[in-house]
Structure 1
Amino acid sequence: MLIVAGIGCRRGATGDVVVEAIDMALRTSGLTRTQLALLAVPDEKMHEAGIHAAARDVGVAVAPVTQQAMERVSAGALTISARVQDLKGVPSVAETAALAAAGNGARLLAPRSANTMATCAIATGDGR
């Protein structure tokens, strides 16, 4: 099974802040960094330097996820933020990014973890 960390963040979030969110989500899910295969982010966030710094620190690649893909899996989200729904069209950016990238049979291992600048959710799926 593929293990994916979905990331949501504010503009300008540093790599350290993103890694903090990843580590919180991994701990909550009972996993370690070595089990993580990929960071999934909305394609609009692919330019964020903090996400790429976090991926280097954790040792995984970054994969863009389209808005459409996130919307398709939004029913599987565990967290529902009215603000995020209004702004982004999905109940949770981190959760839907993780679900979309994890592939068929994707499921969240826990609700998203958050700090002041970033959110992270861990999903598992077959990667297809």
Structure 2
Amino acid sequence: MTLVVGLGCQRGCEAHTLLELFDTALAEGGIERQRVTALASIDRKQDEPGLLALARLLNLPLQCFSADQLAMYEDRLSHKSALAFAHTGCYGIAESAALALAEHLYGAPARLLIARKQNAQATFALACVD
């Protein structure tokens, strides 16, 4: 099973805040960190220092998608955020990005293994292709 993580965050969110959410969500799901093969987010976060630092720390590629690409996954989200839509044009960054990356990398339908988890500054979701 291939696993990818989608992340959304506020501007200025630090890597340690993202890592704490990442590790907590994986631990709750009983998934080892090394099973994750890539990270995803929205293109407006492609230069976000905390996300870039997390990708370096975990030695994982970070791929970003446009709001239009992420909007295609709207009907598969566990939670739709009007606030996220107002800021980005899509209803959920973490879940949409995880699904988009899994399907982009593996050319097969993906599903959410861990639906949206959040802390005060970030959101996390885990998608897989069986």
Q: Give the alignment partner of residue 106 of structure 1, picking from 110, 122, 130.
A: 110
Structure 2 gaps of 5+ residues are none
Question: Aligned to 1:63, what secondary structure does the other structure show?
Answer: strand
2:41 maps to which residue? 41
Deviation at 1:111, TM superposition (A): 1.8
- Measure the CA separation in 1 of the matches of 2:75 and 2:24: 23
1:53-64 aligned within 5 A? 53-64=53-64
Q: Deviations over 1:5-28 (max 9, x none)?
A: 101000011110111121122123
Measure, in 2, the Cα distance between the counterparts of 1:90 and 1:12: 20
> CA shift at 1:42, angstroms?
0.7
1:120 aligns to 2:124 (yes or no) = yes
TM-score by length of 2: 0.88
Partner of residue 86, structure 1:
86
Matched position secondary structure for 1:53: helix
Runs of 4+ in 1 over 6 A off after TM superposition: none
* Structure 1 position 36, deviation (Å): 0.3
Structure 1 length-normalised TM = 0.89
1:5–1:120 CA contact under 8 A, matched in 2: yes
CA positional deviation for 1:67: 1.5
Task: State the AA in 1 paired with 2:94.
Answer: A
The reply on whether 1:7 has 2:11 as its aligned counterpart is no
The offset of 1:61, in angstroms, is: 1.1
Q: Per-residue CA shift, 1:63-85, capped at 9, x if unaligned?
A: 11122210111211111222223
Q: Secondary structure of 2:115's partner?
A: coil
Letter in structure 1 aligned against 2:27: R
Give aligned pairs, total: 126
Which position in structure 1 is the counterpart of 2:21? 21
